[in-house]
A and B are shown apart, each in its own frame.
Chain A
């Protein structure tokens, strides 16, 4: 039995790859990049989950209501995904700037018109 978190993450990744293959608009390609990013984040976050027998794990934050014994999910994937989200925002802004320049230079967003890139 495969968990539904994994299935959702893989569906998002495959959907992003499909959009990369099928779409020819630059804005849609950037959206596909973001969808693949979301799928990878969901996969990594769900890898840090923990199942105990009688208790439900909480977020890895001591707010005073838990004791030290209560189970917590793994904090390491959350920290690395936090780094990954910021890098995703960076890639998004830079790709958006390049797309705006390409639209200004060519007058269209179609990738087939950008095929003949002259220096």
Chain B
């Protein structure tokens, strides 16, 4: 009984997601032309101004390190903390040394 309810709820989640992805009601896949200028103006700004403002020809690197640098700092902090936590969890325990 519990398993049936769980799998029915899975199907419900899948149906809701597919309904959201329908281009008539929700997400539009790949806007072009004027829709691109209206809906994705941030991407358009980065593509047209990135080389002049930052200098790198790889726009993704420009965004990661310059426009969204705070994200990268937080992500570097997360990487450092996670590696430190993993190494500290896996250290040899006190009663373990042969």
Contact = CB atoms under 8 A, between A and B. Distances in A.
Do A and B interact directly, with beta carbons closer than 8 Å? yes
Interface of A: 1-3, 5-7, 10-11, 13-14, 17-18, 21, 46-53, 60-63, 68, 71-72, 74-76, 78-80, 82-83, 86-87, 89-91, 93-94, 96-98, 100-101
A6 B21 contact: yes
Residue with the highest number of chain A CB atoms closer than 10 Å, among B21, B27, B46, B72: B21
Interface of B: 6-7, 10, 13-14, 17-18, 21-23, 27, 29-33, 36, 40, 42-43, 46-48, 50-51, 57-60, 62-64, 68, 71-72, 75, 78-79, 81-83, 85-86, 89-90
Nearest to A64: B57
B91 to A, nearest CB: 10
B23 A83 contact: no
Contact of A17 (B10, B29, B58, B75): B10
A18 B10 contact: yes
- Interface of chain A, helix or strand or loop or mixed? helix
Contact of A83 (B40, B47, B75): B75
Contacts of A6: 18, 21, 27, 29
A53 B23 contact: no
Contacts of B60: 60-61, 75, 78-79, 82
Given A62-B51, A79-B60, A91 B82 contact: yes
